[in-house]
Structure 1
Amino acid sequence: MRTRRGLRVLSVYEGFFSGGARIVHSDVLLGLVEGGQQWHRVLSLHDEVHREATTQRMEDDACYRSLTAGGIDVTSLGRSAGLVDGTVAASVFTGPELADTARAMAGADVILSLKEQPLALLNQAGLPRRPVVVCLHRSDPENQGPALDELKAAIDEGKVVACVCCADSTRDAYEAAGIPADLLHVIPNGVDLLRFRPDPAARLAFRTSLGIPATAPVVVFAARYASMKNVSLFLRAARAWLAREGGGHVVMCGAGMTDTNSALWADMEFAFGADRAALGDRVHLLGVRQDMESVYAGSDVVALTSSSGEAAPLCLIEGMMCGAVPVTTDVGDSASIVAGHGFVTPFDPDAIAFAWSAAVTDRAALSDALAAGRERFSRTRMIAAYADLLDHVVNDVHDELSPELG
């Protein structure tokens, strides 16, 4: 029987671009190799993607740099594509691409697919037979284009042997969509509690860098510019809150959250109207940041206004662990994540703005609850659960696949 030590794992990514799923998955891989018990490599379909009004190259991505610095080999099929909401631009693969994929799969005992989109590649005929575990990070499988059909096809062919769901809402949504319940395993997202923690020095330094007074209330919105994030709702809430909180500031970071994104500027003009000039100087567009622990530590509130798709939003967890009070719409597992630590709002800008003010007022009172709940969101717990699942997967299928795996 195989054990965790020496297990060879190939992860297949659609590409390297800003998003919580890639951050979580990359952190899991780094944790699994830390003790030298597993061997991991990553194959990316694309080495460059164009989305959220941003060109994102694999070599520039923080996850890519973390993986390679941690000794994990990362290669790409060399594709460059424009993607919309995570949908694979094309599912036709060339002979050389399939040959590269076959070589990568031949050297693995088990395959991890980051979300279901890479199954368009893994379902191609003629590739080595290896057990596939699909890591699911959304709660709207019906909105993933052809990916749900690819997942069902891979299950019917016996390729997919397990699905990791980052939230209960993910499991429930995929079961409702027809995925067998016995394949769905919930492993909640976790974060590095040593990195994401309250830090007064980082708080002051971040605020100083933006010219924000030490005592000013700050709301952070950490999201990519995508329709599911409901940016227009956030901006309408920001207008209402800034008009009432004379000294308040709003920070927006993520792919597309820059002054070069014309669509974002149009959203701001619509949301702020005549107040754009008066209030706009207290809206800070920071784009993709590599120091999110400092951004969260420097904020009082971490906001989420998503309308769909979310499962276990990483921004809420990271923000909470740094001392920011979470205020979220009721999407995915967001309500259960922030229970006892923050606020859940309707999809109403005024209600959201009032909740932000309440969060600022109650921040000190909520700090004890936030501190007491930290272990629930531990990265260590998450990585151990992934390791156990991979062990079981390989042990359960080893006898059946031993002629090929040998």
Structure 2
Amino acid sequence: MFEHSSLRVLSLYEGFFSGGARVLHSTVVAGLHTHGRQVHSALSLHSEVRRESLLQRMEDDPRFLSLRAAGVRIASLGRSTDGDHDPRTFTDAEMDVAAREATGVDVVMSLKEQPLRLANHPGFPDRPVVACLHRSDPEHSGEALDDLRAAADSGRLVAAVCCAESTKQAYSAAGIPEHLLRVVPNGIDLTRFHPLRRVRRMSLRGAAGIPADATLVTYAARYDAMKNPRLFLAAARAFVERDPSGHVVMCGAGMTIDNPGLTADLDEAFADRPDLRERVHPLGVRRDMETVLAMSDVVALTSAFGEAAPLCLIEGAMCGAIPVTTPVGDSARLVDGIGFVTSFEAEEIAETWIEAAARRGELRGALTAARQRFSHVRMLSGYAQVLEQAMRGTGLRVAA
């Protein structure tokens, strides 16, 4: 169990929108606020964000709603990515809001590097900052990486929580002092993500229009080059061609036929076989991923770069789906003993999906044994320790 304190923490969000890092960070904030003596609040730079062709409003976001339900107070600077403001500057009115929200707290926790441009502003109250890092490619963070370095150089940054060893290694190589980097592995709520009885699983498939005897592969990702959706669709084409019972579902922001990019990719992948395309189901953003994953035989990741410790692999595995991933970030370490790692070749990926589905029964025991490793209770303990050390000013010295 983690140590309790009266710590007051303000989380900075770039915005509330679909994505694994926001799911995880909101789980941490809600968990520490609800189960400890810590008091958490949040400040979002944007009240609405356009990503993957979808305008996502803060008040509609499941993460926002879950934090509110946990009693976490949330404020916003009210920005919209559809506006014409300079993202690097802040108005006096915006800084008044930021100062008000930060004045009464002990520690500021930034979700990724992007909000640090606000924390580094001379008008922002002087508070120790803990950055939460969720990528293995800091070079793709653009100016946000410079903001992280600036926070470290100024002494504002007292710690950086890395969700994976690959994250720690990458940011250390990018110039962030290693003594600031602390690995706290990702975890999930095991009461939400768990296998279902066969009867219930088949019933859910029927309601979703998926045949009871289908081999079902689920892809949970936003429509982004990092996630490599074109590779996924190439593998999906090979998979449904080889397995007459094969079906694929695609979940996440931009994973709908309303997205012209995805539609073009589908047209290209299935140009000569529209009959096969009927077994590919773009479902978009889902609020019941535990249900989708529990119906699945395989959870797939085809990312090209940037991943650290992908939540979709953990969530899928804990629901009984076998994880199959490309070798990015800590993915290979995550699925060791419970899943498979492939190359970036579509044919190999498709074959591995078929093998993974066939070996579900064989791997069931390993999936059960791995559950405690992925518990969010351990994750909460790790975050709580980092925040408490930040408040006490003891700093973090991580063993090699």
Q: TM-score range by the shorter chain?
A: over 0.9
1:94-173 → structure 2 map (5 Å cutoff)? 94-173=91-170
AA partner of residue 258 (structure 1):
T
2:254 maps to 1:248: no
Match of 1:366, SS state, is: helix
- The AA in structure 1 aligned to 2:190 is L
Letter in 2 for 1:193: L
Question: 2:82 & 2:256 partners in 1: Cα distance?
Answer: 19
Q: What is the TM-score normalised by the length of structure 2?
A: 0.96
Aligned residue number for residue 332 of structure 1: 329
Aligned-partner Cα distance in 2 for 1:162–1:365: 42
Q: Is 2:261 the counterpart of 1:272?
A: no
Deviations, residues 276-308 of structure 1 (Å, cap 9, x unaligned): x11111111111111110000000000000000
Aligned equivalents of 2:200 and 2:115: distance in 1? 38
TM-score of the superposition, structure 1-length normalised? 0.94
Taking the TM superposition and a 5 Å limit, the aligned residue runs for 1:343-382 are 343-382=340-379
Deviation at 1:353, TM superposition (A): 0.2
Q: Percent identity?
A: 57
What is the aligned counterpart of 1:215 among 213, 216, 220? 213
* Contact 2:118 2:124 survives alignment (8 Å): no
Q: Do 1:131 and 1:397's aligned partners in 2 also have CA atoms closer than 8 Å?
A: no
Change (3 A) 1:202 1:172: farther
Does structure 2 retain, via aligned residues, the 8 Å contact 1:225–1:231?
A: yes
Q: Deviations over 1:37-59 (max 9, x none)?
A: 01110000001001111111101
* 1:210 Cα offset (Å): 2.1
Structure 1 segment 311-326 matched on structure 2, within 5 A: 311-326=308-323
Q: Verify the 8 A CA contact 1:312 1:337 in the aligned structure 2.
A: yes
CA distance in 1, matches of 2:164, 2:77: 30
Pairwise CA distance, 1:5: 2.4
- The aligned residue for residue 403 of structure 1 is none
- CA displacement at 1:89 relative to structure 2: 6.8
One-letter identity of the residue aligned with 1:245: D
CA contact (8 A) 2:129 2:156 kept: yes
* Residues 300 and 324, structure 2, Cα contact 8 Å, conserved in 1: yes
Partner of 1:341: 338
Equivalent residue letter for 1:61? D
| Mapped contact 2:4–2:36 kept (Cα < 8 A) | no
* Partner of residue 76, structure 1: 76
Structure 2 unaligned spans of 5+: 396-400
Q: Corresponding residue for 2:13?
A: 13
Alpha-carbon distance, 1:36 to partner:
4.5
Once the 2 structures are TM-superposed, how far is the Cα of residue 203 of structure 1 from its aligned partner? 2.2
Does the 8 Å contact 1:81/1:89 carry over to 2? no
In the alignment, the residues of structure 1 paired with residue 200 and residue 120 of structure 2 have an alpha-carbon distance, to the nearest angstrom, of 46
Q: In structure 2, what residue type is equivalent to 1:243?
A: E
CA distance in 1, matches of 2:209, 2:18: 26
Question: Which residue number corresponds to residue 195 of structure 2?
Answer: 198
* AA at the equivalent of 1:357: I
Decide whether aligned partners of structure 1 residues 221 and 16 sit closer, same or farther in structure 2, where only a CA change above 3 A counts. Answer: same
- Deviation for aligned residue 1:238: 0.1
The match for 2:297 among 287, 296, 300 is: 300
1:67 corresponds to 2:64: no
Distance in 2 of aligned mates of 1:229 and 1:205: 31
User: Would you say 1:181 and 2:149 are equivalent positions?
Assistant: no
Superposed CA offset, 1:135-155 (max 9, x none) = 000000000110000000111
Q: Secondary structure at the match of 2:314?
A: helix
Partner secondary structure for residue 273 of structure 1: coil
> How far apart, in 1, do the equivalents of 2:203 and 2:315 lie?
19
Deviations 1:84-137 (A, max 9, x none): xxxx97111100001100111101100000000001111111221100000000
Aligned with 2:279 (options 273, 277, 282)? 282
In the aligned structure 1, how far is the partner of 2:322 from the partner of 2:304? 20
CA displacement 1:159-202 (0-9 Å, x = unmatched): 10000000000000000101100000000000011110001255
Deviation at 1:204, TM superposition (A): 2.4
The number of equivalent residue pairs is: 391
The two structures, once aligned, show a CA RMSD in angstroms of 1.4
1:22 alignment partner AA: R
Give the superposition deviation at 1:206: 2.8
1:33 and 2:33 matched: yes
Counterpart of 1:230 in structure 2: which amino acid? N
Alignment correspondent of 2:232:
234
Q: State the one-letter code of the partner of 1:257.
A: M
Q: For residues 82 and 378 of structure 2, what CA distance do their matches in structure 1 show?
A: 36
Query: 383-392 vs 180-189, which deviates more?
Result: 383-392
Asked if 2 retains the 8 angstrom alpha-carbon contact of 1:250 and 1:283, the reply is yes
2:227/2:302 contact within 8 Å kept: yes
| Structure 1 counterpart of 2:45, one-letter code | L
Paired AA for residue 137 in structure 2: D
The structure 1 segments of at least 4 consecutive aligned residues displaced by more than 6 Å after TM superposition are: none
TM-aligned CA deviation for residue 4 of structure 1:
3.8
| Contact 2:160 2:182 survives alignment (8 Å) | yes
Give secondary structure in 2 for the equivalent of 1:74. strand
CA gap 1:89/1:251 in 2 versus in 1, 3 angstroms: farther
**Contact between 1:202 and 1:294, CA under 8 Å: does it hold in 2?**
no
